[in-house]
Amino acid sequence: MTHQFHPTSLREYDIRGIIGETLGEADAYAIGRGFGTRVARLGGSRVVVGYDGRLSSPILEAALVKGLNDSGIHAVRVGEGPTPMLYYAEAVLDVDGGIQITGSHNPANYNGFKLVLQHGPFFGADIASLGAMAESGDWVEGSAGSEQVDIMDRYTRRLVEGFDGKAFRVGWDAGNGAAGPAVEKLVKLLPGEHYTLFTDVDGNFPNHHPDPTEEKNLADLRRLVAEKKLDFGVAFDGDGDRIGAIDGEGRIIWGDQLLAIFAEPVLKDVPGATIIADVKASQALFDRVAALGGKPLMWKTGHSLIKSKMKETGSPLAGEMSGHIFFKHQYYGYDDALYAAVRLIRAASDLGKSVTQLRSEMPAMVNTPELRFQVDESRKFAVIEEVLARLADSGATVDATDGARVNTPDGWWLLRASNTQDVLVARAEAKDQAGLDRLMAQIDEQLALSGLERGPQAGH
C-alpha cells in the first residue's frame, strides 16, 4: 500500500493543510504508518497522541491511531488539549514519541500535525521522509491497541510546581482554542483574582481568531483589563503554544519584550547563560540580555530550529517574536504559553514591579510589525541571495543567520524568506520615525533591485 501527500502539506516544522482539500483521513493514516515505522525501527513501541479543538480533529485522530496500530505501535491517547499538554505527556509518560493534531492559529478549515520523536523536535528532513516512505509503501506491518489517559490535571499541577509568585489580578483569553479547559483549571491553582474569556473549546472560533500576535484579536482582552482594572492580561493561540500579553494600560507586550522580562530572573539564577531569540527580535532585547550578564544569541525563526539550538547551547530560555517562549529553566524546554503566563506572574513578583511598570521601563523604539508580501515560491530564497550579494558589495553590517538583518546608525532592518508560506517577511526598528522611514526606503530599494515591490501586505 502506498500514499501520496498533497505537495503543500508536508512543511518545514509541521504538517498542515485544508481539510477535504489538501489534508484528510488517508493522510492521517499514512502519518501514523510512517511515524510508527520510524519509532519501531528505533526499537520503540508507544506513541502519545493528542488533539486540539478543531471540528476535524477527532476524525484525524482516529485515522492516525489506526495507522500507528497497523505499524505495531501502541497509542496512548490523552484526548483534547493544548499542544504543550501533549509535549508534557511525551516528556513524562513511558512513550517513544508524540503527535498533536492541530491547526495552530490557522483558519477553522485547516488542521495539521506537530511531531516529537524521543523528546526531540521532528522537522525538516524528518517530515520529508514521511512523504518518501508513504510513496514507496516503506512501512512496517504490525498490530497494537490503544488506551485513554487523562493527563490534564497532572499537567496543570505541573505548571504551578515551585510557584513563588504573588497574588495578581489577571485576565485570560483562550479564544475558544484548545487551551481553555486547562486555563480554567490553572487559574484555580493560582493566588489572586482571575477573569477568563472564551474558555469553551469551539472549532468555529465564534468570538475572534485565536492568534494573539494580531492586535485586533486582543480587543476583548483589552476591554476586560480596562473594565476590571486588572494588572495585566494574557491570550493564547489556537493550540496554546504561543502567548500574547497586554499590560494594565492595554499596551501589547510583544514576544521579545516578554523575553526581556523573563531573562532577568533566569539570569539571576543561571548567571552568564545563553538566551536565544529569533532574527525578528528587537535589538533592545539583545542589549538587555548582555546588560544582565547573559550571552544573547540571535537564531533562525521556527520553533523546531530554536528547540534544537537550545539543546546544542544548553540555553535555559529562548523565544520568538511570534510568542513561542521556551523555558528549559525549571521546565522541559518546549514552548508552552500557559507556563509562560505563570512565569510572567513569577517574574513580576520576583522583580518587585507591576507588569505595567516593567513594560514602561522598556526603551522606546519605533518599529514595524512583521510585514509580509507575496513572492513566487521559486523566487523566494533567490531574492534573499541577491540581496545578500548586493549588501556584501556595499560593505553593510549584515547578519545572515536567517535572511539579511542589516544594522545601520538608524537601527536595523530584516528581510527573510518564510519557511512556511510563499512570502518574504520584513521588519525594521529605529529610535525615531525619520530613522524608520530611511530603513524602509532601504528595504524598498533592495526589493526593487530584485524586481519586487512592497505593495499590498499579505496577511498571516
pLDDT at 459: 44
pLDDT value at position 455? 64
pLDDT of res. 460: 41
Q: Is residue 460 part of a domain?
A: no
Say yes or no: 279 and 146 in one domain.
Answer: no
Same structural domain, 57 and 81: yes
Q: Which residues are catalytic?
A: 104
pTM of the model: 0.94
SS3 197: strand
Domain shared by 300 and 342, yes or no = yes
Per residue in 276-311, pLDDT (tens digit) is 999 999 999 999 999 999 999 999 998 889 999 999
Residues 143 and 158 in one domain: no
Q: Closest Cα to residue 14, out of 104, 88, 118?
A: 104
Phi first, then psi: what are they for 243, rounded to 5°? -110, 145
Q: Which of 118, 150, 182 finishes a domain?
A: 150
* pLDDT score, position 458: 47
pLDDT of residue 457: 54
Q: Is the same domain home to 158 and 143?
A: no
Condensed to tens digits (0 to 9), the pLDDT of residues 185-203 reads 999 999 999 999 999 999 9
Assess whether 220 and 76 both reside in one domain.
Answer: no
**130 plus 192 within the same structural domain:** no
- Calpha distance 134→127 (Å, rounded): 11
25 near 17, Cβ under 8 Å? no
Number of domains in the chain: 3
User: Where does a domain end: 360, 375, 404?
Assistant: 360
Instruction: Give the domain-ending residue among 319, 338, 360.
Output: 360
Q: Do both 255 and 138 map to the same domain? A: no
Domain membership of residue 9 (yes or no) is no
What is the per-residue pLDDT for 456?
A: 55
In a shared domain, residues 230 and 348: yes
Q: In this structure, what is the dihedral angle of CA atoms 120, 124, 128, 130, given to the nearest 10 degrees?
A: 10
Q: Measured between alpha carbons, how far is 328 from 317 in angstroms, rounded to an integer?
A: 6
Same-domain check for residues 342 and 388: no
Provide the mean pLDDT of the chain: 95
Which residue range forms the structural domain that includes residue 23? 15-150
Q: Establish how many alpha carbons lie within 13 A of residue 421's alpha carbon, considering only the half-sphere containing its beta carbon.
A: 10
Task: Tell me whether residue 331 is in a domain.
Answer: yes
Query: Which stretches of the chain drop beneath a pLDDT of 70?
Result: 455-460
Let me know if residue 8 belongs to a domain.
no
What CATH number corresponds to the domain at position 117? 3.40.120.10
